[in-house]
Structure 1
């Protein structure tokens, strides 16, 4: 007997292996799908663009979930939903379920006994959830699809092992996301501040800061903006301008070289940003009557 639901109690009591029922890539352009449901569990992964997935929660209401590149939704079997794409969205969809297993390979139950994150995933009562992927889930999905294409058939030992690996990765990602959501966001904001102060002289991007504090770039930008009222780039630029003013005011470093000291490779761009923030050019700032040059040679 096949089981379509990821959260069926029988998976934790008997020996089942996961099996892919369908998979496909699809480019959607300006499309609204009618409400429908599957008798299998579905993963909808956004490769490019963005979309909305509306999930029916009662006969009179539904919840709308926005997805962008690198995010995916897992929908349990028989969860009514529809896809809405206003512009364009490229997706990878995988539908899977479980079949009884009597072989020597570990069943999903036995894997869950060894992997707490998978056990927690199987025991959850959610009919759907969304996650931001640091590329681990997509690589697992793509590897699974390549294997299915190469085999030219459904099922198979490696296919099922790869699908089991995918479920473990999703379980771990969900556990990590839940743990991060329970952490005070102020902790990550402070870590970001420290990283910016130590690295403002380098060509850093949001993804570099996110990697330093072990957060997804999109999630980091949201909590940083909600805690400070400004974006990471706005704070980084403001910090660089403060450092530039200090160098112009207190050292005799040539004005033409200041941009390199604050991590801005283009002198022209540095001059434009500095004037936007201070109202004067770097040269005028140094020559202003309030500026006290510090001779680093001690003369």
Structure 2
């Protein structure tokens, strides 16, 4: 096994073919604990599942900085960076940890260099070194990190294809979170709108009110309405209706779900209102749309058969 340094910030990772190798991975609850300063030749991710803690990080110049972490926050530490964990008296911190480096690429998952070539956010992430990075996670990273650790527990440090794929997803999500944090520090409104859109895509299949979307992104409903309209050209309600109608068109064209039930699948309780809304956006009724799709598909197949 040709092992590379454990740092994320090596030019070789962007030029040659490397995959992750895991040195440690575990769940751990710390109670009133102070760890001595230590370092290791691997990148470490410490994710706080519950409780709170502090992490002291020492730079090459000897400067120390303390980061206080709470639930759903994580810290990434580059390889060979001295650090220590502190859980204060009377406190507890349940944590999820992984430590990894890199070896010559193997398996079916894409190498780190290939991922970086295809995903600009990841390439930017890997080209801007840090000794430590704290991110707040809307539970996107947690589910991937949890699945990765459970897979490693079952199959060991070498892992398999799923381990490689989960690691790729982990890095992509971390790079996107990092990008979002940079955007939020410069233009917070863009982050609020992006989070609102994500919420709509995740919840369009049920009844949603603007105040609920605003609460999910932690802003006032009136402010969210203004910035959403300014950035998308649509109100929240218009965007949600358009999203629902696009999902309805997909279900009408690619499934055998009865037309009368499609409204429930896209979060509209009134079937009459669904029919009116669909005709407004599509120019035809749901039944007419399905029939036109069926005729087009049959005609397309017939033409292909005739040509042969």
TM-score band, normalised by shorter chain: 0.5 to 0.7
Alignment of 1:75-224 (within 5 A): 75-86=77-88, 87-101=91-105, 105-152=109-156, 154-183=158-187, 209-211=214-216, 215=217
Deviations 1:243-291 (A, max 9, x none): xxxxxxxxxxxxxxxxxxxxxxxxxxxxxxxxxxxxxxxxxxxxxxxxx
Counterpart CA distance in 2 for 1:209 and 1:13 is 43
* Displaced runs of 4 or more, over 6 A: 185-188
Specify the SS of the correspondent of 2:124: helix
Counterpart CA distance in 2 for 1:97 and 1:35 is 20
Counterpart CA distance in 1 for 2:118 and 2:190 is 34
Question: 2:46 touches 2:97 (CA, 8 Å); kept in 1?
Answer: yes
Counterpart CA distance in 1 for 2:108 and 2:141 is 26
Q: TM-score, normalised by structure 1?
A: 0.62
Question: 2:59 touches 2:131 (CA, 8 Å); kept in 1?
Answer: no
Question: 2:55 touches 2:85 (CA, 8 Å); kept in 1?
Answer: yes
Aligned to 2:265: none
Farther off after superposition, 141-150 or 98-107:
98-107
Structure 1 unmatched ranges of 5 or more: 193-201, 225-299
1:43 aligns with 2:45: yes
RMSD: 2.8
Counterpart CA distance in 2 for 1:43 and 1:104 is 24
Counterpart CA distance in 1 for 2:42 and 2:110 is 22
Higher helix proportion (structure 1 or 2): 2
Deviations 1:29-70 (A, max 9, x none): 111111111110000000001111010024543001110000
Specify the SS of the correspondent of 1:50: strand
Q: TM-score, normalised by structure 2?
A: 0.60
1:7 aligns with 2:12: no
Counterpart CA distance in 1 for 2:142 and 2:28 is 15
Cα–Cα, structure 1 residues 25 and 184, in superposed 2: closer, same or farther, change >3 Å?
closer
- Once the two structures are TM-superposed, the CA of residue 2 in structure 1 deviates from its matched residue by 1.8
Structure 2 unmatched ranges of 5 or more: 197-208, 224-308
- Once the two structures are TM-superposed, the CA of residue 156 in structure 1 deviates from its matched residue by 1.8
Specify the SS of the correspondent of 2:187: coil
Cα–Cα, structure 1 residues 103 and 74, in superposed 2: closer, same or farther, change >3 Å?
same
Specify the SS of the correspondent of 2:183: helix
